[in-house]
Structure 1
């Protein structure tokens, strides 16, 4: 992988190393439970499994960028990570997933009830953390994001396997399940720093566009990525009958015979050997993969453009590089 694809996140992590260490300490403290040892067991399995911790890092980055010198951004970064972890626990139950980040999921190692209830506990911990700064605007940003995430998940549930799902609905789902927390992270970091309203809005717009680009790239890589690099097998979304942007674009351009194929494979779930290869052929025939790639790059460019309204700062340059990073693997 080229340098631009690997450097930005590491550079930002190094720049924020002390603050991220403080966030990790808060996470360890707050995921403890005196009365229910299963809570830290389940939480530690997921929290300590790796991952880039990009969302909490965005809180710290936005606060640093806006000149913040307090400590409340650490609590807010931990809040964002707890919300994210809670949604992962719930998602794995809903999706009946068996693997995440190359390890067995919590619902597989324990059970669905444990995953759901521990996810609920982390949401509660997140709300405890988000009120500590005593900033109503920040509380509104993060609580609104939590509601948007849940709403997006329910929308995805109702739109799944429905070939009538449009690109607009897809975008609404992505804004809920992914972009909402990115946007809340950058917005909350700027808000706690007391940044000017136009700077807060610009950083929120950056997070929103970054999250959309991130998810579109992920959806595309399911059909043309390197399984060793992504941790997913090619076609997992197809086998799980997920209606992502490449398929939505191919369905929109399909003739009657092709549509019948998608109905059988996605809506009815009657998949046969060779169907993935046929699906890949249809995606290529209608330029669905290239169109998804173009859309992802467009959202990356939108994220970078939003930073033009933010004061010059080394962290701003790192955030711009991260916007490039999330789509660099698509070249």
Structure 2
């Protein structure tokens, strides 16, 4: 494609997760083993579909956050392993369901599960993974952790419905969009962090601090994802530029460009996103309009705002290598590609 937005790229964004990955490496190996064992089933289709997505990449940031939150308080039990695996299963189930709702063809650079096995299999295997997640939560024996994660599951489902209502709707407000990503993305980040503190026996102040950190980190993470979809750096990361545009998704860069455009430009967005009548040339124009109206820059600026809030949330926690790693994760999330 010809017209790709580029924003100044900061060096070494991967380094933001290296410390975290190193700190939790041993526990993460145990989580991965548990994930593989819990996708087993006599129904052959279940491990096939689950493995297709689970083994397709991704940093598994959410379960790493659970492990780090537990470790930073010196937790030495086993519960955080099962909770971290539960968090990853919830995330994977959401991706399987999302691709069906959004009618997406690709996921992490490969064919979405729905394109290989169909919508029905994707939804049902997602349900299987949710069931396994709740089994592991119960095995931990922590009612507060179960409460936090089950509440997150309900909020995520609400977010799915909210997104369905706003899909292809260019009249969506920024507040409405933020409400969707708070539910769909930030809720699981928050829960992943909070349950680590819970299983480590921490009190309300520590739980709230880590929950706030996770929620704001999740918002920053999603907003950067929104911007990356229209950036040349997306291709550098091994992903296809413009997938959100092709799927007709209303994200923050679209909303900002739509609001700031003239009548003819708004008609363009309506045709491409609401009516789903777009081609590659239209993607080039969409990116050009976002650049013209500073939609990408302002989306990144909002992400950095939430990143700053995530950093501040950790301010009351004792200094430690784990806290430093969590702060560096914020830098990774907001500087990916920019």
CA RMSD of aligned residues (A): 1.6
Q: Which residue among 132, 137, 159 is the counterpart of 1:152? A: 159
List 4+ stretches of structure 1 deviating above 4 A: 1-4
Name which of structure 1's ranges 222-231 and 88-97 shifts more when overlaid on structure 2: 222-231
- 1:320 maps to 327
Q: Which residue among 189, 195, 206 is the counterpart of 1:199? A: 206
- 1:85 maps to 92
Q: Give yes or no for the alignment of 1:176 onto 2:183.
A: yes
Shift of 1:3: 5.3
- 1:132 maps to 139
Q: Give yes or no for the alignment of 1:120 onto 2:103.
A: no
Structure 1 residues 163-208: Cα deviation after superposition (integer angstroms, max 9, x where no partner): 1111111111111221111100001101111112111101001100
Shift of 1:273: 5.6
Shift of 1:319: 0.6
| 2-structure distance, mates of 1:102, 1:278 | 23
1:214-233 map, 5 Å: 214-233=221-240
Q: TM-score, normalised by structure 2?
A: 0.93
With CA pairs under 8 Å and 6+ residues apart, which has the higher RCO, 1 or 2? 2
CA distance 1:309–1:25, shift in 2 (3 Å): same
Q: Which residue among 286, 293, 299 is the counterpart of 2:300? A: 293
Structure 1 residues 220-264: Cα deviation after superposition (integer angstroms, max 9, x where no partner): 011123243333322222222111001111222222222222222
| Contact 1:86/1:120 (<8 A) preserved | yes
| 2-structure distance, mates of 1:88, 1:278 | 29
Q: Tell me the matched-pair count.
A: 330
Secondary structure of 1:223's counterpart equals coil
Secondary structure of 2:29's counterpart equals helix
Unaligned stretches of 5+ in structure 1?
none
Q: Which residue among 291, 309, 322 is the counterpart of 1:284? A: 291
| Contact 2:168/2:248 (<8 A) preserved | yes
- 1:74 maps to 81
- 2:5 maps to none
CA distance 1:278–1:3, shift in 2 (3 Å): closer
Secondary structure of 2:240's counterpart equals coil
| 1-structure distance, mates of 2:50, 2:277 | 36
Shift of 1:37: 1.7
